[in-house]
Structures are given as C-alpha cells and as structure tokens.
C-alpha cells in the first residue's frame, strides 16, 4: 500500500466535507460504486466514508466526474463518523418537483420538452438506478418525466 507524504490536489470537484489532508484522490467514472473503489485502494467502505462524509450509507450519492479521497497523508488521524446524522448542505430545486423527489439533493436539473431519462443520467454521469433512487416517482420506463419540473441529479 503506497504511503503519501504530501497533500494531493484533486483533478476534479470534490464533494462537500472531503477531508483536507488527502494524500491521494480517485476520479469516479460512471458505473463505479463505493465497494469497488474501497477494494481497489485496500480500504474499507467505512474509511472511504470517513474521508468523504458526503457519502450516504448506501452509496447512492456517489458522484461521477468528481474526485474522492482514498488515502490520507502519512501521520494523519481519521475520526470515524458518528452514528448521529451529519448536517448536509442541500440545494433548493429551481422548479416544481414531483411529490417524491429527494429532500437531500445537491444538484437539480429542470427537464425540458423532449428530454428522457437516458439523456439526463448520461449528461450527469449517473446511473438510471441513481436517478430513480433520488426521484422515486419515476417509472421503470421513465414515461412520467415531466418538462418544466426539477429532478435530483446529485444527492
């Protein structure tokens, strides 16, 4: 396992709360998931979450095209996440939402006429499963995507 002696610079945006004393970042791509990332860097999912506390317990809010800390600088101490909930900064939707949109959303997209789910989830580097998890009102065939309504694309 490599030892990092200096703080690394992320290549992409980092989610809110990512630790500052990060020795190595991994740039998430569409299709990645937390357990795979943790295994690839020989860390546990709990350690990954401690370094990146924005991640929820189910890892449904892993952002594609973002940098996540996967190793600390040598000599750093990680404080495990408490079992209590951590306050998160969320974004207000820019347009009306259907009734079951995520309340813990960081980024919204307002659908326009002609949009369909594939266009939205590929544009934001997320999976269809993530789009539906954050917008539970969406049908399996995405036939109820409404123009001029906001949909959560990062939670």
Same-domain status, 131 and 68: no
In a domain, residue 53? The reply is yes
- pLDDT above 60: residue 90: no
Q: What is the pLDDT of residues 113-129, one digit of tens each?
A: 999 999 999 888 888 98
In a domain, residue 21? The reply is yes
Q: What is the pLDDT of residues 43-76, one digit of tens each?
A: 888 899 999 988 888 888 888 899 999 999 887 7
Write down the pLDDT at residue 89: 46
H or E stretch including 38?
helix 34-40
Same-domain status, 57 and 124: no
How far CA 29 is from CA of 73, 85, 114, in Å, comes to 24, 27, 26
* Domain boundaries, position 3: 1-78
Q: Do 126 and 64 form a contact (C-beta atoms < 8 A)?
A: yes
Same-domain status, 3 and 74: yes
Same-domain status, 130 and 60: no
Per-residue pLDDT averaged across 9-33, rounded?
91
30 confidence band (pLDDT: 50, 70, 90): confident
Same-domain status, 6 and 65: yes
Pick the last residue of a domain from 39, 62, 78.
Answer: 78
Same-domain status, 4 and 72: yes
In a domain, residue 42? The reply is yes
Q: Do 115 and 148 form a contact (C-beta atoms < 8 A)?
A: no
Q: Rounded to an integer, what distance in angstroms lies between the CA atom of residue 31 and that of residue 64?
A: 8
> Residue 30's domain is classified under what CATH number?
3.10.350.10
Task: Give the residue carrying structure tokens 């860097």.
Answer: 41
Portion of the chain with pLDDT greater than 70, in percent: 88
Same-domain status, 3 and 54: yes
Q: How many independent structural domains does the chain possess?
A: 2
Same-domain status, 8 and 72: yes
Contacts of 130 (CB under 8 A, 6+ apart): 60, 61, 121, 155
Portion of the chain with pLDDT greater than 90, in percent: 32
Q: Rounded to an integer, what distance in angstroms lies between the CA atom of residue 23 and that of residue 5?
A: 7
């Amino acid at each position: 396992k490599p030892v990092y002696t200096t703080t690394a610079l992320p290549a992409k945006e980092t989610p809110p709360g990512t630790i500052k004393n990060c020795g190595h970042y991994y740039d998430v791509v569409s299709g990645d998931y937390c357990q795979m990332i943790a295994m690839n860097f020989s860390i546990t999912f709990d350690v990954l979450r401690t370094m990146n506390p924005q991640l929820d317990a189910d890892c449904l809010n892993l952002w594609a095209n973002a940098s996540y800390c996967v190793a600390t600088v040598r000599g750093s101490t990680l404080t495990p996440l408490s079992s209590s909930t951590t306050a998160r900064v969320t974004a207000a939707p820019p347009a009306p939402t259907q009734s079951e949109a995520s309340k813990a959303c960081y980024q919204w997209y307002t659908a326009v006429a002609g949009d369909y789910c594939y266009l939205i989830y590929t544009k934001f580097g997320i999976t269809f499963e993530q789009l539906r998890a954050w917008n539970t009102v969406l049908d399996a065939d995405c036939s109820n995507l409404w123009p001029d309504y906001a949909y959560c694309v990062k939670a």
